Amino acid sequence: MKRVALILTAIFVLSFSGFSQDVNSLFQKANNFYLNKNYSKALAIYKQIEKQLNENNENSFKLYYNLGCTYYRLNDIANARYYFEKAKRIKPFDKDLNKSLNLLLTKVKDKEKKVKEGFFLHIYKKIYLSFRLNTLTVIAIFFFLAVFLILGMLISNRYDKKKLYYGLGISLFLFLLSFSLFYSRYKFTFQKEGIVFANEVEVFSEPNTSSTVLFKLHKAAKVKIEDELNGYVHISLPDGLNGWIDRQYIKEI
């Protein structure tokens, strides 16, 4: 059992790639530029870091948040929103982020309709969103392995069966619970959403410009991406409005 834990931790530690000194110093530099109100220079460095992270398939809440702030200062609300939303997927309940994002939303022309959710759904959402995705992944895997370890012990026929059955029941329950939390969090993090980058876009009923214009969206509006076809994306809004937009006006988060 101890050995198993050791191996598990070793694998997780290995999978976190260490901070490269390079990224750290770059980040520091960009923050200083921001502090001295040299936003365009700060932006350039932040972008450079982002590129590096993308190559390594990494992400950073701080970086996305700072990028959002920088774009906000440069009055680019579409990009600001894009990065704030990206940061929100990592830490949905960060106070600074939500404050800045709410302020930004006052500048967006399209007001977002909030869909009311039930009490229990709300609680469930609060729980899974307050964990990081990686935390939930580790917890779910831990209980998943625990289930199989106990199964193995049961098969081996060497240990007290009564205790093992209890253990199996409990770890199975905890696995299902943590997996459902993990899955919800996973869906939240990798949901397909996009930000409108054009000043005004028409939303069509079919994936071509000759069909009916259903409604118009403005800069920095957030849409849910449902489907993609022939350079058009099928988008929907929280209140159920949906239609097709030219791919080029939308940037996927």
Partner 1 sequence: MKKLAFVLWLTIAFSSISFAESVKAYVSNTKIGTEDTLTFTIEGENIDGNLSITSPLNFPGFSIVSGPNRGQSISIVNGSMSKKETISFILAPEKEGKFTIPSLTVKAGDREYKTKPIEVEVVKGSIVPRQRNRGNAYDPFDNFFNDDFFSPPRPRNVRPEDIFIRTEVSKKRAYVGEPILVKFRLFTTVPITQLALQEAPSFQGFLAYDVDTNQRIRFQSTVLAGKRYNTAIIYKKVLYPTKSGELVIRPLSFVLNAQADFFFGKRVIRKSEPIRIKVLPLPEAPKDFSGIVGSFDIQASVDTKTAKVGQSISFKVIVSGKGDLKALDNIIPDTIDGFKIFKSSSPKITSQDPINQSKVWDIVLVPTKEGELTIPPVKLVYFDPVLEKYITKETTPIKIYVKGQVESGGAVNIVTPSQGNEVKVLNKDIAFIKTGKPDTTKYLVESKGVIIVSTVFPILFLVWGFMVRIVDERRKNDVEYRKQKAYSFFKNKLKLAKKYAKKKKTKEYYQTLSKAVISYFSDKFSKPNIELRIDEIETMLKEKGVDEKLIKQLTDFVEYCDFESYTPHSSGIKTELIEEANEIIQKVEKAL
Interface with partner 1 (CB under 8 A)? 4, 8, 11-12, 14-17, 19, 23-24, 27, 31, 34, 49, 53, 56-63, 65-66, 69-70, 72, 95-97, 99-100, 103-104, 133-134, 137-138, 141, 144-145, 147-149, 151-158, 186, 189
90 vs 233, which CB is nearer to partner 1? 90
d(CA 65, CA 12): 26
Least distance from partner 1 to the Cβ atom of residue 13, Å: 10
Least distance from partner 1 to the Cβ atom of residue 224, Å: 21
Number of residues that make up the chain: 253
Least distance from partner 1 to the Cβ atom of residue 225, Å: 19
What are the phi and psi torsion angles at 217 (to 5°)?
-120, 155
d(CA 138, CA 169): 20
d(CA 235, CA 110): 15
138 vs 198, which CB is nearer to partner 1? 138
Least distance from partner 1 to the Cβ atom of residue 131, Å: 13
Least distance from partner 1 to the Cβ atom of residue 196, Å: 21
115 vs 155, which CB is nearer to partner 1? 155
d(CA 23, CA 185): 28
72 vs 197, which CB is nearer to partner 1? 72
Asked if residue 204 lies in contact with residue 211, where contact means CB atoms within 8 angstroms, the answer is: yes
Rounded-to-10 torsion of CA 171, 168, 187, 60 = 40
60 vs 242, which CB is nearer to partner 1? 60
Rounded-to-10 torsion of CA 76, 77, 82, 84 = 110
